[in-house]
Every structure is written in C-alpha cells, then in structure tokens.
Amino acid sequence: MALFRKLGEMKLTNILVEGGSRVITSMIEERLADKVIVFIAPIIIGGNDAKSPILGKGVNTVDEAVKINEITVKSFSRDIVIEGILAC
C-alpha cells in the first residue's frame, strides 16, 4: 500500500497491475483496484487441484461477492476480454 500512496503523491493514478492469483487477490482484497480486464482463453482446464485466478477466503453467498459494473465484452484473437468497474 505504501507504494500506491507514493505513486498517488506523484500523480500516477492509472497503473496497470498484471499478476497471478496472489497479486490479483491482494489488489481486490485491499481495494486497490477499481477496474478489471479479464482475458478468457478458449480452453477448459478442470480438476480438483486446478489453479484459480482468485485466491483468498472467498465468500459464503453470492451477495457477498465483489460486483462488476459497466461491463464490456470483446473478442481479442481467439480470447474473450471482459472489462468492468469494480463496485465499492
């Protein structure tokens, strides 16, 4: 969080953060992200031990989930891109 405060002081308010499930989870849990861009490949990976894009404790009900507003869906090559604003 100190890094983001420092960047804010420098008037750097638009920052792209790309990472794995731990980085993404931290950004959402700490409420440091206000927008998400998710790429979905046209493949299915499953199994009990499959990696998840979001870690953390999760939620007990759908009502507790982080909501995404102002959603756009696009194609990018063979992938699907979902973009939206995280609800407060």
* Residues 18-68: tens digit of each pLDDT: 988 899 889 988 889 999 999 999 998 888 888 888 888 888 999 999 999
Question: What domain count does the chain have?
Answer: 1
Q: Which domain holds residue 38?
A: 2-86
Q: What is the pTM of this model?
A: 0.76
Q: How far is CA 69 from the centre of its chain?
A: 13
Kindly give the pairing relationship between strand 35-40 and strand 79-86: antiparallel
Q: How far is CA 32 from the centre of its chain?
A: 10
CATH classification at residue 64? 3.40.430.10
